[in-house]
């Protein structure tokens, strides 16, 4: 097999199961070596201790990373109450909170409910957030005081799976930019006992599920093409317009065309708009797909009071 010729044709996303104790960049580098010189990019970094779904876009699909980041993320997390750490998880310097008695589950349920919705959240000091161009974790490891500003994040739901003091297991569905470690920390502070995260599994990003994910070590130059899912799967959570053959020709040339509403399937995008006032004014994208819905042709936007579609990012080749 010619790796270069095969990689040139790859256009889609890999649903990978990131193992513990490796970085998201390690997984991306594994894919990059297999598809070189093709491009790769991932949506949603996982901490080294975390496992689960890591989506890696391949080829022209790297231009869809920002769309993929809008998809809701689902986590299974375990928190330990009665402890605090400098990293907000069990990998840091852990301190016991003295004189703490077990907390009743009804108090925990009431406290958890306050974290659902658009909330202000401060990222952990040991995080990839930049301060004056430097990563916060770099400054924290150097012993510098790290002060990060809070920012709005969207948390759709938190459900208690099990509770046996001091361990609390929850499922969380949230938008991008949310730190589950911060939820553990802030929940513990709200309860007055402290809290940290002991384990984290990302079980889904949008429609991409952990049970369907591929183990990165199983990938090689012979099977990676079969593991790349169609790019149209990336935009499954945005509005879709199915193009006729004539419209596909127009799309390939980047031209606009009149909207035939019966072919438009509208979907609500739960984007993290409160975090960016500029994004509030931006119209959500529309996925322009083939008549049968299996091929992503372009991303576009609806203009002129909903009567016309203008392609913006075109993937289909010009005729």
CB-CB contact of 26 with 241 (8 Å): no
DSSP H or E segment with residue 17: strand 12-18
**DSSP conformation class of 19:** P
| Catalytically annotated residue among 26, 47, 86, 88 | 47
For residue 47, indicate whether it is catalytic. Answer: yes
DSSP string, 149-211: --EEEEEEEEEEEEEETTEEEEEEEE-TT--HHHHHHHHHHHHTS-EEEEEEEEEEETTEEGG
Rounded Cα distance, 29 and 23, in Å? 10
Count of H-run helices and E-run strands, the chain: 9, 20
Q: What angle do CA 66, 126, 15 make, to 5 degrees?
A: 35
Please list the active-site residues. 47
């Amino acid at each position: 097999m010619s790796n270069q010729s095969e990689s040139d044709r790859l256009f889609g996303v890999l649903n990978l199961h990131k193992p513990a104790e490796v970085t998201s960049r390690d997984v991306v580098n594994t894919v990059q070596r297999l598809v070189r010189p093709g491009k790769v990019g991932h949506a949603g970094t996982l901490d080294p201790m975390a496992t689960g779904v890591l989506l890696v876009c391949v080829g022209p699909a790297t231009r869809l990373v920002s769309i993929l980041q809008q998809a809701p993320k689902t986590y299974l997390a375990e928190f330990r109450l009665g402890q605090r750490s400098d990293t907000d998880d069990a990998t840091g310097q852990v301190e016991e909170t003295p004189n703490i008695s077990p907390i009743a589950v009804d108090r925990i349920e009431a406290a958890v409910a306050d974290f659902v919705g658009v909330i202000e959240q401060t990222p952990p000091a040991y995080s990839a957030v930049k301060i004056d161009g430097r990563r916060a974790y770099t400054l924290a490891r150097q012993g510098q005081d790290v002060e990060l500003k809070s920012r709005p994040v969207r948390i759709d739901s938190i459900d208690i799976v099990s509770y046996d003091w001091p361990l609390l297991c929850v499922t969380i569905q949230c938008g991008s930019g949310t730190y589950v470690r911060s939820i553990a920390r802030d929940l513990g502070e709200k309860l007055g006992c402290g809290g940290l995260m002991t384990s984290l599994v990302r079980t889904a990003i949008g429609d991409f599920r952990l049970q369907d994910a591929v183990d990165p070590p199983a990938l090689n130059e012979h099977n990676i093409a079969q593991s790349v899912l169609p790019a149209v799967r990336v935009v499954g959570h945005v509005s879709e317009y199915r193009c006729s053959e004539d419209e596909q020709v127009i799309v390939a040339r980047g031209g606009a065309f009149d909207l035939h509403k019966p072919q438009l399937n509208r979907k609500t995008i739960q984007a993290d708009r409160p975090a960016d006032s500029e994004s509030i004014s931006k119209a959500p994208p529309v996925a322009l797909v083939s008549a049968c819905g299996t091929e992503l042709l372009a991303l576009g936007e609806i203009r002129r009071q909903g009567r016309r579609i203008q392609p913006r990012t075109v993937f289909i080749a010009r005729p």
